[in-house]
Chain A
């Protein structure tokens, strides 16, 4: 296998000259780093012919915060709080990925209660992440109302999580060896109330956006990606499942108590933006199902098997663990020398791999289609750059 290394300068040199007055000339346009539709500071260099996209070159590094380097100086409990700031919309699941790997490496046995609490809060967060994705997608396509609806319901989830955890966004809740706090006495009651409230609201979401002809035209048959392409680019999560690949770690390698819950994996048929949109709606339904089955059966027991002050020493070796976050598979790779800090830490983040799908599916479409594609990929930029 050989890899061609080119600079951005080389790639953005205009090669084709207009031969006659009727010919068109290719040109380059920067989309970002400051652009309202890129959800942050992503920069994409577009090679255009008229308004048709010829090539997309993502340029990264505008929010590279050197998290992996900081990890080499931090204990495993300190690393957990850094992962909050990677994919901040699935922070609990990010915490879980690190905790899971450390627990596997250090042979920490967990109680049943910890697994139940972790699964329920992770599913609650998956719902709120998809609500944001749904609302922001509406906003990107020119509809402001879905944004208001999505955030109205998200506030209720953050209320429930805030009561137990004390934070609204960067949770820092799941720790190696348990969870930070026991659940609030109101937790079970409030979650049940929320499910009763949210189930009809989900149908309202569909009434508002799914049947809308403009949304249908903007999303259907736009950015179609087959399963093979998605797999070769390393796409995971709703992006991969929309392309007809039923790959979901919760089903294939059940962690937590997903093995005890009965739920279906939502997959798409065509792999276009519409499928990626609808897989998320369906995943919210399945998350509600999982929570409903688990919420009544939380067993008694400890919520933390080790004291928070204890420094965890991971035996020498290399360890890998992964979880399914709201956007795909987050892998954590630890190289340990037997100390309480890792020698090297690597995060295989879902958004980084999902982003490169744009280079395969956007060419041939218009700039407006690219906005729909990035919205349907649901990118979180700090997770790409880390």
Chain B
């Protein structure tokens, strides 16, 4: 998001005086970034490490002004996604996100909320990445990530808020950092291979499978 977007945003909220607006923006963003109130929302394993151990005495999330965990989404402005999102939970997650007051921010922690993680292949019920449902600002990798990783993720989010660069639309991803690709291989090749693998996994010809099904003997 460049300068144009920033001006749009400013005119949206308070049309009129230009110079003062940028300054107020700066002050407001600075205040917002240092008083994030997370929602107590944990679905599985990451909840122990992310919300409990990080909020606990050793790692102490309170140092960064983000310790006021709220059980109600209407009082929270930071959603820490801790744990797998399955198809049955997805509509509820969307509702929770919609209920949160603007401005709202999302940190996706753990492999499951980034891509599906250990449940990427052969699972019929998990969502492959929570950013298919809600916009995600910061991704924290790990299975589960260490509490220090979440602290780094939180600091990154604070930086993004101060710069006014948080995401507001679902499906928009920050450009990923790509390591060097070997010679003779293009990005399109990698994407095509991944698509092929995913299709191979998810598209099943039921009649063919039923015909090939082996029954266990001796049962």
Contacts and interface: CB of A to CB of B under 8 A. Distances in A.
Interface of A: 33-36, 40-41, 61-67, 69-70, 72-74, 81-82, 84-85, 88-89, 132, 136, 147-148, 151-152, 154-155, 168-170, 316-318, 335, 337, 343-344, 381-382
Interface of B: 40-45, 47-49, 52-53, 56-58, 71, 73, 83-84, 86, 88-89, 92, 96, 118-119, 121-126, 143-144, 146, 214, 216-219
Nearest to A41: B43
A148 B60 CA distance: 10
Given A132-B52, A151-B58, A335-B216, A63 B122 contact: no
A169 B42 CA distance: 15
A136 B43 CA distance: 16
B56 A63 contact: no
Contacts of A73: 121-122
Contacts of B71: 35-36
- Describe B's contact surface by its main secondary structure: loop
Given A148-B57, A335-B216, 16 more contacts: A36-B71, A40-B43, A62-B86, A63-B44, A63-B86, A64-B125, A65-B123, A66-B119, A67-B119, A69-B122, A85-B44, A85-B45, A154-B53, A168-B146, A170-B45, A382-B83
Nearest to A62: B89
Given A335-B216, A337-B214, A381-B44, A66 B124 contact: yes
A66 B126 contact: yes
Nearest to A37: B71
Contact of A169 (B45, B92, B216, B218): B45
Contacts of A70: 119, 121-123
Contacts of B58: 151-152, 155
A70 B120 CA distance: 10
B57 A63 contact: no
Contact of A65 (B42, B48, B86): B86
22 contacts: A33-B92, A40-B44, A62-B43, A62-B86, A62-B88, A63-B83, A64-B125, A65-B119, A65-B126, A66-B122, A67-B119, A73-B121, A73-B122, A74-B122, A151-B52, A152-B58, A154-B56, A155-B56, A168-B144, A169-B48, A169-B49, A335-B219
